[in-house]
Amino acid sequence: MSEQAIDEAALARWLEANVEGFAGPLTLSKFPSGQSNPTYKVSAVSGDYVLRRKPFGQLLPSAHAVDREYRLLSALHPMGFPVPEPLALCDDPQVIGAIFYVMEMARGRPYANGALPDFDPATRRRMYEQLVDTLAELHNIDPIAAGLGDFGKPGNYFERQVMRWTRQYRDSETDYLPEMERLIAFLPGSLPEQSRTSVVHGDYRIDNVVFDGDGTLSAVLDWELATLGDPLADFSYLAMQWAMPADGAAGLAGLDLPSLGIPTLDEIVQLYSDRSGVPVADQLDWYFAYNLFRLAGIVQGIKKRVIDGTASHAQAADMAKKVPMLASAAWNFAVKAGA
């Protein structure tokens, strides 16, 4: 089945049968973002919804688990955590060609530029404080109380993740990169201690949350990499934003943060530690090396899908060129961490 071949009539019939209050007809429009699981706006007589589905075509075994995403949203939404309300899961790939779920459309929008040029300094500070507070709130949720006690495996999260992303990288490897080989050798032997097991988002960054017009955080999106693990995986991934150069995307390095109203890295480290109770070591270099290694593995997967002709993102081919740069940056942080 081709990228565009969703049968809208079949989808409308399924939604009318499974989503309370749904009334067609509908139109589908694909969001340009969403590397991994293609995401659509469903516009219907009864309102707007969001549909996320598995990609069509050959997939890696552990990737694109939209049913896990749906389960997580179903656990977090009743607890008052800011996620869109999940409405229905279709685990029959025959309906549109892949399994999918439907959720409410979150109010507001994401902001890809970390400098937040649309807002004043006081609002920027409040937005960043909410970004950190919401992450701490997630990490303070008891997974067992949320019904997610079996959502991830026990043991050292980083050990599992280093193994997982090494395996994913190997499954989609297209070129020999010496820095990736060095990281694959270094990371497993230098794992940090784990302070707590929390629900971790896996891709927590400013453009995966939605703010409404006054800068209030209304929803956290894109849970496809969520699991149980070390909360510092999420926090250090967010903190990477302060280490990456400001280029109109999320990176903040080189900007005059105080004049913009944006907290410094030291301030968000303190804020997160205070709100979560998780001590953040002074040394983030190992975590930064790991996060960039993982990102290189993710982008390598996109590169492989570009080559195979199954990538869904409009900029997938450009992103695929970034693997060597990410590997090199990861190795630089590994050297700072003692490699």
Q: Which residue has the tokens 């060095």?
A: 182
Domain that holds residue 65: 8-104
Q: Is the pLDDT higher at 43 or at 64?
A: 43
Which of the pair, 314 or 212, is modelled with greater confidence? 212
Domain count, the chain: 2
pLDDT single digits (tens) 171-185:
999 889 999 999 999
Residue 3: pLDDT above 70?
no
Task: Give yes or no: residues 95 and 145 share one domain.
Answer: no
Q: 217-220 and 209-211: which strand pairing? A: antiparallel
Q: Single out the residue of 331, 280, 64, 327 nearest to residue 173, CA to CA.
A: 327
DSSP 339: -
Share of the chain above pLDDT 90, in %: 76
> What would the pLDDT profile of 271-304 be if each residue is shown by its tens digit?
999 999 998 867 799 999 999 999 999 899 888 8
284 and 153, same domain (yes or no): yes
Kindly report the CATH number assigned to the domain that includes residue 64.
Answer: 3.30.200.20
Strand 227-229 to strand 100-104: parallel, antiparallel, or no bridges (unpaired)? Answer: unpaired
Q: Look at residue 42 and tell me whether its pLDDT is greater than 70.
A: yes
pLDDT, mean over the chain: 91
Residue 293: closest CA among 190, 140, 200: 190
CA atoms within 13 A on the CB side of 51: 26
Is 137 found in the same domain as 98?
no
126 with 64, same domain? no
Both 204 and 286 in one domain: the answer is: yes
State the pTM of this model. 0.86
Position 1 scores a pLDDT of: 38
Q: Among 33-42, 221-230, 277-286, which range has the highest average pLDDT?
A: 221-230
The CATH number assigned to the domain holding 130 equals 3.90.1200.10
